[in-house]
Amino acid sequence: MDQAMHQEKDCLFCRIARGEIPCKKVFEDEEIFAFHDINPAAPVHFLIVPKTHLVNLYDADLDQAPLLGKLFGVAGRLAREQGCDDGFRAVVNNGRVGRQEVYHLHIHVMGGPQPLRSGR
């Protein structure tokens, strides 16, 4: 991992990306990490997170555009690999009102064999 990459010592997703907390990994490279949600809202439900700590979209700016593009750029391929052949939902919860629970930017990728219900 790039030593210049900012991470927070106690952030749950930073700790998962560092391998300190076990998870069911979907994908990893030098900049991003994807893993299954521990409380899935759909038959397929995983998260894609940057390894560098961004609290949410409020903290993102044009300097992070390549990283943000990469997060969404792998979503379709990973969704297909996980069995979402007929569509999926990509959701970014942002802040308290947006129902963000972990304050490290992440994309929820959700899908399955049937249309998803509203919510989350």
Exactly one of 45, 53, 104, 106 is catalytic; name it: 106
Please indicate whether residue 106 is annotated as part of the active site.
yes
Q: Can you read off the two tokens belonging to residue 67?
A: 């990283």
Q: Report the C-alpha gap between 36 and 49 in whole angstroms.
A: 11
In eight-state DSSP terms, residue 114 is S
Contact yes or no for 54/105 (Cβ under 8 A) = yes
Q: Can you read off the two tokens belonging to residue 90?
A: 């990509």
Q: Report the C-alpha gap between 104 and 107 in whole angstroms.
A: 10
Active site residues: 106
